[in-house]
Every structure is written in C-alpha cells, then in structure tokens.
Amino acid sequence: MRLGHDHVRVRVPATSANLGPGFDSLGLALGLRDELEVRALGSPGVVVEVKGQGAGEVPDDETHLVIRAVRLALDHVGAPQTGLHLTCVNRIPHGRGLGSSAAAVVAGIFAARGLIGDPEALDDEVALRLATELEGHPDNAAPAILGGATIAWSDADDPKAVRIAIDPGLTPIVLVPSTRLATSRARSVLPASVPHTDAAFQAGRAALLIEALTRRPDLLFPATEDRLHQRYRADVMSESLALVDALRALGVAAVVSGAGPTVLALARATGGGATDADDAVRAVFGGVMGGWQVLRPGVDGAGARVDRIPG
C-alpha cells in the first residue's frame, strides 16, 4: 500500500459510554469535537503541537496516542512509515469519561485512512478493530466512528458495532467536574462477579434503554437505572454519584458518563432550546453543587471525518 496524500484534517467527536445499564456496549457521540491535522514529512521523526485540552501534558513524541494510532493503521495496510507533523486542537476534556482517548485513537486511524492511496483498506469495520486493539473495548470507539448512538459487542474477539436511530428530541446535558479520574482506576474497583438478580435487572434495563432511546423517550428514567458499575465506583467519584442521585430525585435520567467522573443527563427537548431537565439542573446547581461545567453539545450524527488537504 502506498501513501497517496501527505496532508489531512480529521474531526472526531466526544463520546459517552454505558448510558447507565449498557456497560461496555452502549455509546453516544456528542457534538464536541477535537480537530487535528497530520502531515507526512520527508524526514523521519515526529512534531506534535497541541492546543486546548492536554496542552503541555500529553506526550509530544512517538508515544502520543494519535501518532501510535497512525503507525498502527499504516502497518496494518502495509503502508510505509513516515515522519509526521501533528497539530491538535483538543476540545474534549481529558480524564472525564468523555472518550478523549478513543477520540485520539480514532483520529489517528482516520488520518492514516486519508493518507493512504486506498482509503477503503481502513473502512469503519477495520477502524473499529484497530481502535479496540488500542483501547481494549469498543464502546467509545464505535460512536466516535459511526456517530449517533451505537451498540458494540465482540464476537470471538472481533469487535462489531451497529448504529441505532435515536428519537430526534433526545438532548444530552453533560456535567463536567474539574477533577479527573483515570479509566484504569475506575475499572479497578469493580467486582469480579455480581449477584444473579442484579445481572437480570441490568439485562432488562439495557433492553428497555434501546426502546427508550429510539421510540419511547418517556421511558428514559427507568431505562437508565444501573446495578452493575456505578455504585461500586462511589468511593472514587462520590461527588458524581451525589449529583446523579440529586438529579434522579428530581426525575432526570442521569448517569455516570463512561468511567466518570462526568455526569450525563438524557433529557428531552421541549422547544426553544429548552429541555425537560432544565429546572432540575438549575435547582441542583443553585443549591448544593459547585465547580461543575454544564455543556449542551447535542448529539453528533456524523462521527469521525477526514478530509485531504491539497498540497
């Protein structure tokens, strides 16, 4: 496989995984995007420039996650490695459960797609497989690639995903704390097994959530109940669980976003840019919560996109 282009631009959305009961399977793409450009260089080595989230913190060498993903994808299709100049404008908060690492991985794979002569060699199915190889699970990578809401699963270690049509009135509200939490830390507190009754409860709620997302948004509140992971993480994100409880006490379908500590509220549009969760959010933040950023990014329906930039 040869390189067909030397300069590409990639846009990739933030994502929220789990959505309550859909642990490691359900995900939603959000209208908050990282943008980056990758240029193939005539000399070896890398140059990394980062603005926004992670600036001055993430690696600026071959270990940068986007660079690693580009290299993996080029190797997969047998394309030659090359020097790379990476410029990132990061808007997705890091370490908050909004899929920043999955976005970086998907961005690198899509950059490689744009650089090679035959982009179809890195189609969405291959992109998901490679992203899962780096990420370990496909729940964030799937909506980052496909956009919208997705169901991801693995069949004999081969990750798959499908996109589901969601109710057009679904409006995500993202509540982002100032604190971070590593996914590895959040996963480390989960038990190796759960009671059979909790597993049965979870299966029922995950099935109900598909109906709520697609056709019956009035069922979002009961459909987002979880017994598999959120409560087990209370010791490492107590403020997040307190916020989930406060919002749910007011009837809002609130969950932990991914591994946290961001909280996601699945609201319904009521017209004029308002939602049925607005009063509850104002009440909670006007009373007991502080240090949180409230975002209304909308649903990203496009997924990752790559454009070739003329030389």
Of residues 247, 283, 274, 276, the one with CA closest to residue 262? 247
Same domain, 184 and 254: yes
Which residues contribute to the annotated binding site for ATP?
Answer: 93-103
Q: Region 212-217: what's the mean pLDDT?
A: 97
Count of structural domains, the chain: 2
**CATH number (domain holding residue 129):** 3.30.230.10
173 φ, ψ to 5°? -115, 125
Same domain, 233 and 145: no
Cα atoms found within 13 Å of the Cα of residue 234, Cβ hemisphere only: 10
**Is the pLDDT score of 288 beyond 60?**
no
Residue 29 located in a structural domain? yes
Overall size of the chain counted in residues: 311
Which residues contribute to the annotated binding site?
Answer: 93-103
* Whole-number pLDDT of residue 286: 73
**Residue 258 CB partners (closer than 8 Å, separation 6+):** 15, 16, 17, 18, 97, 98, 99, 139, 140, 183
Residue 266 located in a structural domain? yes
The answer to whether 107 touches 34, Cβ cutoff 8 Å, is: yes
pLDDT tens figures, 227-245: 999 999 989 999 999 999 9
Domain encompassing residue 177: 170-295
Secondary structure element (H or E) that encloses residue 60, with its range: none
Report H helices in 42-167: 65-76, 100-115, 124-135, 141-146
Same domain, 151 and 183: no
Same domain, 203 and 61: no
Residue 121 located in a structural domain? yes
- Between 3 and 255, the more confident residue is 255
C-alpha torsion sign, points 124, 126, 129, 135: negative
Same domain, 175 and 136: no
* Whole-number pLDDT of residue 260: 92
* Whole-number pLDDT of residue 287: 61
Same domain, 153 and 219: no
What does the alpha-carbon distance between residue 11 and residue 226 come to, in Å, rounded to a whole number?
Answer: 32
Percent of the chain residues topping a pLDDT of 70: 99
Confidence of residue 155 (pLDDT cuts 50, 70, 90): confident
pLDDT tens figures, 130-154: 999 999 999 999 999 999 999 999 9
Q: How far is CA 136 from the centre of its chain?
A: 13
